[in-house]
Every structure is written in C-alpha cells, then in structure tokens.
C-alpha cells in the first residue's frame, strides 16, 4: 500500500533521500580522495566532504522541523555513483586518466543532488515552508557551483594530456 499520499509526505521522502545521499558522500569521499592524484582535485573532494557533512546536518534539522527522523531511506542513485568512482579507481591506473574518470562520477553526483534539491525547493514552496525552501535553494546553488568547479578541473586535467 502506498504510504505517500500528500505533498508533506513526499517532501519528507525527498529530504530523507537527500540526507542519505549526503551521508554517503560524507562517509565515502575520504576513500575517493585517497584514489585521486591531482592536488587540486583532492582538495576539491576534501571540501565536498565537509560540505556534504554540513548539508547532512541541515537536512536532519529540516526533517526534525517536520516532525520526522531523517534516516530510513537509501539513496540508491548516489550510492551507485560512489560505487562507480570506486570502480574507476580499481580499473584505471593512478594518475590523470583516473582523475578525469572520477571527475565524471562526481559530476553525476553533483547533478543528481542539484535536481533533487530542486524537487525539494518546489515542494517546500508548495507547502509555504519558506525557510526550508531558502535552505534548499542555497544547497542547490552549492551543488551547481561544485559541478562547475569539477568542470574546470576536468578541463585542466585534459589540457595536461597528450593524445596518444
């Protein structure tokens, strides 16, 4: 039987999904970072882990403000993307090519988060939850900025590569 029957329940589901995604990033980015070679890319990953931890805490606060616990849902998409980044490390020799592949995996994560935050923004606006909508908007913009930073890292890594 379906349990989600109104916008509030759907927003709670969205918050829980985002919470698990941020939790997965916060918990697993250290090992992703250990597989990166480029110092700038590694620094980005470290900053993204800190950002994810903070966003995770913000999502928990929003869930609690809605009278719900934040956990209990698995963000299958984000966790699969992190598996993909681990697989890149297992199959591609350490160095620029692995870093290039891993920027692709992490960009998928940022875009996944960006569109998920947009769903949360829309639902919060629908429900008149202005503070939550504003918080989600900041986080959506953070994901967008993070993706743009990864795009620049990708260009820099590729600029240092020969074609052979």
Which residues sit at the interface with Fe ion, rule CB under 5 A? Answer: 52, 55, 113
Q: How far apart are CA 58 and CA 45, in angstroms?
A: 20
Question: Is 90 or 138 the residue whose CB approaches Fe ion more closely?
Answer: 138
Minimum CB distance to Fe ion smaller for 97 or for 122: 122
Closest CB to Fe ion among residues 144, 158: 144
CB 54 → Fe ion: shortest distance, Å? 9
CA distance 164 to 162: 6
Closest CA to 105 of 15, 37, 32, 42: 32
CB of 140 to Fe ion, least distance (A): 9
Q: How far is the CB of 93 from Fe ion (least distance, A)?
A: 29
Report the half-sphere exposure of 24 (CA within 13 A, side-chain side): 23
């Amino acid at each position: 039987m379906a349990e989600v029957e109104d916008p509030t329940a759907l927003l709670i589901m969205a918050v829980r999904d985002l919470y698990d995604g941020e939790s997965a990033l916060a918990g697993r980015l250290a090992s992703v970072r250990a597989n990166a070679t480029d110092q700038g890319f590694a620094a980005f990953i470290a900053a993204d882990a800190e950002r994810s931890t903070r966003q995770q805490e913000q999502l928990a606060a929003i869930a609690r403000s809605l009278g719900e616990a934040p956990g209990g849902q698995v963000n299958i998409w984000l966790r699969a993307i992190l598996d993909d980044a681990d697989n890149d490390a297992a199959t591609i020799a350490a160095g620029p090519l692995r870093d290039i592949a891993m920027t692709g995996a992490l960009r998928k994560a940022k875009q996944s988060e960006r569109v998920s935050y947009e769903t949360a923004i829309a639902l919060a606006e629908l429900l008149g939850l202005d503070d939550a909508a504003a918080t989600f908007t900041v986080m959506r913009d953070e994901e967008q900025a993070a993706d743009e930073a990864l795009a620049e890292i990708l260009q820099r890594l590729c600029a240092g590569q020969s074609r052979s």
